[in-house]
Amino acid sequence: MFHLKNIIVRDVLEIKSLTLDASVISIEGQSGSGKSTLLRLLNNLDDPTSGEIYLQEKNIKEINPRELRKRVVMLPQSPTLFDGTIRDNLIIGLTFSEQPVPADENLNNILEKLRVKKSLDTNASDLSGGEQQRMALARILLMKEAEVFLLDEPSSDLDDKTTKHVMKEFIDLSKEANQQIIMVTHDTTVSKNFADSIINMDTYSKQFEVGSE
């Protein structure tokens, strides 16, 4: 789905050619190897020093940024928590991108799948860190126009048992909708259990070049 060509991010990355077309891709590597930088490049939140990135054979620079971010949805490592209720937080992305808002029944269903057992009227700030992370995952799953989900450490606040359940549900729902997942994770168990392809960023990192100390 993505193809990167002659990408250089000064002092961070050098990627001559990389195709990201598997259904679920895990991005691994040492701290500082450019994993989060890669995600931000794919969403055009960061610009490379040089090189080109293609989505479905079209240069992402030629795609309207708002349109690109409807198609390529990113969940950062510390998901944004908006003022208001769980309902407000779930639908804010849909409202902003002018997409239909599901009925409460649908919102409750997706929360249940991700093990958030709270009323939609609960203040989002009352949720634990793990519940906020799961709510954020539910929020992007509701964005049906998305083609790609970029996830930065999506299970960092979850215990092992919850991670296994939540990631399976998220990936199953995404695959049903033919949506690609590209995720950064330090959890090798998540990669082993769910990824169709694993990319090691140490290969492309300027900080971890072969032969460097």
Instruction: Spell out the domains of the chain, with CATH numbers in brackets.
Output: 2-203 (3.40.50.300)
CB within 8 Å of 1: residues ≥ 6 apart = 20, 21, 55, 56, 147, 148, 180
In tens, the pLDDT along 57-95 reads 999 999 999 999 999 999 998 889 999 999 999 999 999
pTM (predicted TM-score): 0.94
